[in-house]
Structure 1
Amino acid sequence: MLLLLCCLLLTTGLPVAGINVDKSSPVNSDSYPIDSVASSGVTDSASQASITGEFTKSRYTGVAGDPIEIAHGYNNPDPDGAAYLLVGGNQISNTGQTVGFVDVIKISGSTTTINTRLIGTEETNVQSCALEEVSCDLEFRDTNGDPIADSLSNLTASSGATGASGLVRPLVPQRYRLAITDGTFTVDDSGVVTPTAAADQADLILKKPKLSDKVEVFTSVDPKIATEDIDTESLNSLRKNGLERTTVTEGNRVVLGFESTGIWGALSYFAADADSIKAGEAVDAQALVDLLAAEEGVSLQVQQTNPSGNEPRSELDLSQANADDVTVILADDGELNTPSAPTQFYLVLNTGDDGPFTHNPEPGDKFSVKFSLEGAEDMRYRFNNTDQTSPPDPFNPVDSGSEHPELFPYWGVSDTSTHAEASFSIEERFVRYDHVTNDGEILVEAENGRITGTTSLLPAVETSVTLVNDAGSTPDRKESQLDISDGEFSISFDTDELTPGTRLNYNLYQGSTHRDSRTVVIVSDSDNPDRLMISNATQNVTVTEGENLSAITVVARNVGGFRGEGELALTVENSTVAGSWGVRLDPRESRSFDFGTTTADLEPGTYPFSLRLDGDVHNGTLVVERDPATTTLDEDEPASPASGGTADDELDGNGTTGDSKPNNETTVDNGDSSNGESTTNRSDGDSAPSEEPADDKPRSSGLIPLPFGTREAFGGTVMVGAVYLLGHWV
């Protein structure tokens, strides 16, 4: 009894030292339909092999075409004995057919990484017993115990089971048996291959590949002009020094991100690392070039969509690119529990001169991006392996015809091509200022001291400005940085001692390279940089009927940074213009004006008046009193005495008053000048504004009609708004 107990302890699946065993991890029931393994040929514990071993999981899940790592442990008491890993050989329960594949791998160490794109082919990355150079001690027997084969190469001919050498296409999405064994197997009449003695068993579940239809696009700075060193093989570094946008500044990098599974086994092979390629790392761009060149049904097209009539179309040509212009970076692994199989890769392309394009991209060029896994209905990928006696060439498929020259190995007969598409465009390097004149001078308000605008430059490039004031005895120099965020920039500097009209020399530098030179003009209002305003004006005025309006005085001032021109207009009782001046003032200049040439052609009473200059309005009150020297005669009633008594008392012998003019004339004031001064220069509602005299006295006489009445008539020398400035670099 003691001897039997010891044998049982040795032959049962005990954990192996150094291996952490966790077989409790479940498989998502929605992830893939799983058929149960047929139990035909499975031996009971009494016939277990002397070899012991165990898998760390009961199920390993991956994607067909990608690498997957199998962790295991084993112990063979026979010092000359080997341990083998059976892959496949099981039966699909819902069809009654075998899985159509069996491979036996000679294992060593604690893990085995299987490249599912290469397994069963002549380029397999594992120690397959189907390869001539791998020495294996295998034995296959039928259900009667008679030997039928001693190698995988003659298994198919001997039993009808599909061996590794008879593989028709790459390992398809399905469930495959995994077993640790000493190399002895039983083959039943249906072709199911079962370990005669298995130390442990597990499942390998391969899912169907997927391609996301979205392509991530962002741009990153040209490392040659970046302020700090940029690791172009680090996705985090590229993001940190870039922007999430599809408009790419000429010479910068465009980064295209693709999400796909089922391509990583082939990419690993072409990267000369058939075991695996590591998520989060860069790979040689030549690996992608070779993958696209192989007949693998994987294609990438990046081409210009808007060439001019005779202009050649610019296209991506990876075969002619050098390592400095193209980088392939693998993203971190995704949700699949397969650390050797990433799900995304990023293609980093230089858009500058002599890059990977057939013609250098230029500002205004637009490009389309299309990544495809090709397929066609009623067609499937097949190896071109006619003899079926040796493992096939993994990248030599049967010609599928000129209409569909390439097919993705993992699409079925009902699958067609799937695509991921995006676009990007090229723009020039520029800065565009928000407030400028039509001469290109930058307007800066004295109160905030900020220059703002938009730019295609990226924040990773150090960009600075210098501003120099040469007006004083010694130049005053100021320095500042361009703060760039999301395509907008701002420059701040101290303007406490600067007044409107001050002019500064402005220079822009990118690193140590001079990029732009302009003039900055300090103004009070960048939206109205030549603004004229009323700084002082009479508010309440009393005049005698018929008297001129010289008592209405105005002080006009230019509070802008440029010579201002406008019309100073007087209106009474919201009627037409009673008088106007054409005003022209230099920055910070003030002048006084009055309306002595305008008479109060109004009945006695109280009237509101308004003074307007360049949008500035001043309101006041005008009181018109009756002229004491004037008597109004009514035909029906005698005139009232001017100051007591009777009318007869005021008449002389000729019947006129003592103050009356000769010839008994009674004058009724009609608003004309009574002092003999011409009124032709006075501006009424239908006349043009009057130009101010050149002296410094209040303007009231000698008015000259001007051929204009608004600021626009002076030529409109200032234009405010967003003006495109840098068509090219200095």
Structure 2
Amino acid sequence: MQRPLAPDEASAATSRPARCAVGCVCLFLCLLAVTGPAAGATGPGTVATAPVAAGTPAIAQQEDCFGSDTFEAVAGGTVEFSSSCGGYILVGGDKTVDSASNRNFLDLLYVSGGSATVTVNTRLLGTDQSAYSGGVVSYTQKYGADTAPGDTAEFDGFEFVNEDGEEIAGTLAEFNEQVGITRLPRPVQPARYRLLAGANESLVLGDDGVPYLEGPLDRSNLRLTKPGFEGDLGRSVAPKGAADEDFAPATDRTRVAVGDRVRISGFSTAGFRGTFSTIDAEGLDRLRTLLDYPEGVNVTIEHLNPGVNQKPEEVTFDSANARDLFVDFSDDDESFSMVIDTSKGTWFGARSAPGDRFRVTYAFEGTPGEEYRFPGGNGLPGPFTAQSTADPDRSEQYPYFDGEETTVESTTTFTVVEPRIEYSQDQLTSDGALIVGENGQYRLTGTTTYAPGTDVEIQLISRDDPPPTKIRIDDVSIGDDGSFRTPAVSFAELDPENPVEAELFLRDQLVDRRPVVIAADPDDPAELALVDATSSVTITEGESLSALAATAENTGVADGTANVRLRIDGDLWGNRTITVTPDRNRTVAFDRSYPSLPPGEYPYTVRLAGADRTLSGTLVIEPGGTPEPTVTAEPDRPDTTRPPTATSEDTPQSPPTRTATATVTSEPTTAVATNGSAPEEEAAGSPIGGLVGYVTSVLPFTLGSMVFVILAYVIVRAVVARRGGSESAS
């Protein structure tokens, strides 16, 4: 029988395979470092190469015709490239090495004058409208692909051959058939399209099916990227004016007062800028034409709350005019905005009223399973003729959506509100008169729904000896939050003895007129003061303080409201709210206050909250009947556990209840807790109770200790037994 390995021997035996594995890994890494990365590796240390066009012959850099390797633009937009070489430029017709099909687009350009700067409208490529401007001639768009070169001026003598120089086509259309290029089914899509310059009058079809110009001079690429939806709509308002007038100052706000203007901005033209460049119109007419095209680009204004049992409706642009709805395009046509005049009688004003809410939506429309498609036929398709692939009645599909893409949109909302301007309530009396200060400088403030920048003027006119005294404030500012304020103004010229009126003008029209009152302190126009209070009151224990009253007087110009507070012996026992009109006084009694004090004599004070003047008096509480030995609840009394607070109903509340009991005696007495119950007897008053308490407190700890000792004993026994068995076996 083989002897078991000792622990050291076992460790050595098991480590031999591990050491062998480590040695093999080290040897592999050394070999990798010597040989370098394998062919085709793309890890760190390798250089990734971009896909190249198949079938293009190597170009000896004879000329630097294009000056750039790539010219990039968003599909549907425009792009500019230059060529300093005369001759011809082949556009498209190529494919990448990882694709068996071509781009299904090929065009042949003639460069006149030896050089040209070309602007390409990528939305018109492959259609019957010219996509190029700037000194080049397109074979397909000027003459048609089925025209023979001999019937043209710029391409006379041009040949279509194979790599052996044999003529394989008499027209560009026949050559396209050899390449496999067909009529475009939809606008040219985002991809890379080759630009190849050459001087020889031969278009060669390579053995791999890719055409090229014989004797190429230079190569570049036209890269079209997929348009992204950039419709991030914004909304702002401006003062009244024609829609086509200067929109200033602009304020971001959701509410627009009837008569003001609202601007919706952020309509990006990315993806259909080429379409816009074909429309020979300006402003609103240009937008209308775009919306008539089946381009899948849509702008709508929807009325969200038309009325009960009525569905939301769209506000169409058909009857709008440029002064009511102004469409403003940026200088580079990268975006546009709409300005709407909300005045009554305008295109929009006739379709809206205060309280109406509107949503503006900007959308690229698409339906899953649908794609923009040109109708079938011969020759080049019209650029803006679309036909559904599945539904003949559906044509609104964005040209650069795939079949699985759906509508994307951006929205913003605004609400039409009633035009309004009002003074702040704390600057008005209860009768609506405007309060101004007699001395110093003060600001007039208020709120308005009118847009910031609206012309506002305030005049204060004193009806004294002719000519009347007039104070004019014409630099009233309106904030973004809808507040307005005047600069600090002195009204010392106004005579309080003469009637004064305030007139408010909005855009030179009188919109508000009201009387003015002049206060010594406009921050406290009421000027309330406590003028009298009861000086001495005697009640029987348990009675209310109905005989205690105080009188407040208003010597100001506005209604005043204040709290009259009663304190007895320093504690609050009454709090009454009173309102006094100008030049009047009012007396209030504390008939709902029930002081729960023992018989005796107490000082009290009466004061208006926040005022300095205090009136004082003396309260005498005489003993009532013999009190009952027990205290019972009084549900009909107000809660007296805390001091009363002022209430809007001008209702006093009872003060907190004192729990002291006054007892005059020389014999021992027993204290009785009021508003509570007698304390329970303690079990610790007898020896048996003490013993029971001790046992109940110690017993849980004793039982826990016993359980712990038993478990420890069992574990130790098990360990000893296991070791004894091991020794016997050895």
Q: TM-score range by the shorter chain?
A: 0.5 to 0.7
Which residue of structure 1 aligns with residue 196 of structure 2? 179
Aligned 1:202-281 pairs, distance under 5 A: 202-212=220-230, 214-224=232-242, 232=245, 238=247, 240-256=248-264, 257-259=266-268, 261-271=270-280
Match of 1:104 in 2: 108
Task: Give per-residue Cα distances to partners, 1:421-450, cap 9 Å, x unaligned.
Answer: 222211122113221345433344556522
Q: Which moved more, 1:613-622 or 1:513-522?
A: 613-622
The whole-number CA distance in structure 2 between the counterparts of 1:542 and 1:407 is 92
Distance 1:190 1:156, change over 3 A: same
Partner residue, 1:141: 161
The 3 A distance-change label for structure 1 pair 408 and 582 is: closer
How many angstroms apart in 1 are the aligned matches of 2:324 and 2:174? 50
Q: What CA distance in whole angstroms lies between the structure 1 residues aligned with 2:471 and 2:80?
A: 62
Match of 2:718 in 1: none
Q: Which moved more, 1:471-480 or 1:86-95?
A: 471-480
CA–CA distance in 2 between the matches of 1:34 and 1:462?
66
Q: How far, CA to CA, are the matches of 2:283 and 2:316 in structure 1?
A: 16
Of 120, 138, 156, the match for 2:126? 120
* CA positional deviation for 1:385: 3.5
Query: Structure 1 residue 307: deviation in Å?
Result: 0.8
- Are 1:198 and 2:188 matched, yes or no? no
Higher helix share: 2
Counterpart in the other structure of 2:443: 450
- Aligned partner (choices 497, 508, 530) of residue 504 of structure 2: 508
Per-residue deviation, 1:331 = 4.6
CA distances 1:503-553 after superposition (whole Å, capped 9, x unpaired): 631111123222222223344676864342148999xx9999xxxxxxx99
Query: What one-letter code is carried by the residue in structure 2 that aligns with 1:258?
Result: F
Alignment deviations for residues 251-270 of structure 1 (CA, whole Å, 9 cap, x no partner): 33322222352111112212
Q: 1:118·1:124 contact (CA, 8 Å) conserved in 2?
A: yes
Aligned partner of residue 314 in structure 2, secondary structure: coil
Structure 2 match to 1:419: 409
Unaligned runs of at least 5 residues, structure 1: 1-32, 77-82, 225-229, 273-282, 333-339, 545-551, 594-601, 626-667, 671-709, 714-730
Q: Which residue of 2 aligns with 1:530?
A: 526
Separation in 2 of the partners of 1:249 and 1:107? 58
Distance in 2 (alpha carbons) for counterparts of 1:122 and 1:581: 86
- The match for 2:337 among 342, 346, 364 is 346
Q: How does 1:531-570 map to 2 (within 5 A)?
A: 531-534=527-530, 558-562=554-558
Offset of 1:193 from its aligned partner? Answer: 2.2
2:376 maps to what in 1? 385
Relative to 1, partners in 2 of residues 1:167 and 1:65: Cα closer, same or farther, differing over 3 Å? same
TM-score by length of 1: 0.64
Is the Cα–Cα contact under 8 Å of residues 463 and 511 in structure 1 kept in the other structure?
A: yes
In 1, the alpha carbon distance for the partners of 2:49 and 2:240 equals 50
C-alpha displacement of 1:394: 0.8
Matched residues in 2 for 1:156 and 1:124: separation? Answer: 19
Give the corresponding residue for 1:37: 52
2:352 alignment partner, SS class: coil
RMSD of aligned alpha carbons? 4.7
Q: Partners of 1:503 and 1:86 in 2: how far apart?
A: 90
Question: Counterpart of 2:138 in 1: which secondary structure?
Answer: coil
1:476 is aligned with what amino acid? T
Alpha-carbon distance, 1:584 to partner: 6.8
User: For residues 95-139 of structure 1, what are the alpha-carbon distances to aligned partners after superposition, in whole Å with 9 as ceiling and x for unaligned?
Assistant: 132111111233456421111111111112324211345743143
Structure with the greater relative contact order (CA < 8 A, sep ≥ 6): 1 or 2? 1
**Greater CA deviation, 348-357 or 119-128?**
348-357
Q: Which residue of 1 aligns with 2:632?
A: none
Q: Is the 8 A contact 1:53 1:180 kept in 2?
A: no
The offset of 1:455, in angstroms, is 1.4
SS for the counterpart of 1:415 is coil
Retained in 2: the 8 A contact 1:478–1:493? no
Q: Is the 8 A contact 1:129 1:135 kept in 2?
A: no
Please give the alpha-carbon distance, in whole angstroms, between the structure 1 residues aligned to 2:66 and 2:373. 33
One-letter amino acid matched to 2:179: G
**Structure 2 Cα separation of the partners of residues 285 and 537 of structure 1:** 77
CA shift, 1:290, in A, is: 1.2
The 1-side partners of 2:213 and 2:509 are apart by: 73
- Give the equivalent residue in structure 2 for 1:12: none
- Aligned counterparts of 2:160 and 2:529: Cα–Cα separation in 1: 106
Distance, in Å, in 2 between the alignment partners of 1:413 and 1:581 is 73
The CA distance in 2 between the partners of 1:73 and 1:314, in whole Å, is: 53
Q: How much does 1:314 deviate?
A: 5.5
Residue aligning to 2:7: none
Where in structure 2 are there 5+ consecutive unaligned residues? 1-47, 144-151, 539-547, 589-596, 625-646, 651-730
1:396 to 385, 407, 415: 385
Q: 2:84 aligns with which of 74, 88, 97?
A: 74
Task: Within 5 Å, give how 1:282-361 maps onto structure 2.
Answer: 283-309=282-308, 315-331=314-330, 342=334, 344-357=335-348, 359-361=350-352
Distance 2:437 2:49 in 1: 72
Seen in structure 2, the aligned counterparts of structure 1 residues 177 and 488 have a Cα distance that, compared at 3 Å, is same
**Residues in 1 aligned to 2:349 and 2:207: alpha-carbon distance in whole angstroms:** 60
User: Counterpart of 1:285 in 2: which secondary structure?
Assistant: helix
**One-letter identity of the residue aligned with 1:450:** R
Are 1:59 and 2:59 counterparts? no
Q: How big is each residue's C-alpha offset from its partner over 1:260-304, in whole Å with a ceiling of 9 and x where there is no partner?
A: 5211111221246xxxxxxxxxx4221221111111112222110
Q: CA deviation at 1:489?
A: 0.6
1:618 — aligned with what? 613
Alignment length, in residue pairs? 545
Letter in 2 for 1:425: T
Conserved? CA contact 1:169–1:382, under 8 Å: yes
- 1:372 and 1:473, CA in 2 relative to 1: closer, same or farther beyond 3 A? closer
Whether the 8 Å contact between 2:72 and 2:222 is mirrored in structure 1 is yes
User: Would the aligned equivalents of 1:566 and 1:711 in 2 still touch at CA under 8 Å?
Assistant: no
Q: Say which of 164, 171, 181 aligns to 1:162.
A: 181
**Is this contact kept in 2: 1:467–1:506, CA < 8 A?**
yes
Structure 2 SS opposite 1:457? coil
Report which stretch shifted further, 466-475 or 504-513: 466-475
Aligned-partner Cα distance in 1 for 2:579–2:414? 53
- Supply the distance in 1 between the matched residues of 2:66 and 2:434 (Cα, whole angstroms): 73
The equivalent of 1:608 in structure 2 is 603
1:306–1:366 contact (8 Å) kept in structure 2: yes
Distance 2:361 2:372 in 1: 22
Q: 1:298 to 1:571 in 2, by over 3 A?
A: closer
Contact preservation (8 Å) 1:84, 1:107: yes
Q: 1:350 to 1:569 in 2, by over 3 A?
A: closer
Q: In the TM superposition, what is the alpha-carbon distance from 1:215 to its structure 2 partner?
A: 2.1
Matching residue of 1:722? none
